[in-house]
Amino acid sequence: MASTIDHRNCGRCGFPVRQNADHVKACRWAESAVFHWACWIALLAERDQLTTQQLMRAARKAEA
């Protein structure tokens, strides 16, 4: 079964994701999608507030 996901466009907003920009590639089973980092955080925030807070803390530590 062929995947219909476009790996060049963000899975949330649909805009192109540059490979040299901050992005996330999420894989589940045989399919994957790419997201802008900000879209990924927003998607998580819509779904799970605790996970989003933990990811934001980890990102801040990595920047420091």
pTM reported for the whole predicted model: 0.61
Report if residue 40 sits inside a domain.
Answer: yes
pLDDT at 7: 65
Report if residue 6 sits inside a domain.
Answer: no
Q: Are 13 and 33 a contacting pair, CB within 8 Å?
A: no
Q: Tally the domains of the chain.
A: 1
Give the domain range for residue 34: 23-63
pLDDT tens by residue, 18-62: 888 888 888 877 778 889 989 988 888 787 777 777 777 777 776
Instruction: Please tell me the number of Cα atoms within 13 Å of 40 on its side-chain side.
Output: 16
Backbone phi, then psi, for 36, in 5-degree steps?
-60, 150
Report if residue 56 sits inside a domain.
Answer: yes
Report if residue 15 sits inside a domain.
Answer: no
Report if residue 1 sits inside a domain.
Answer: no
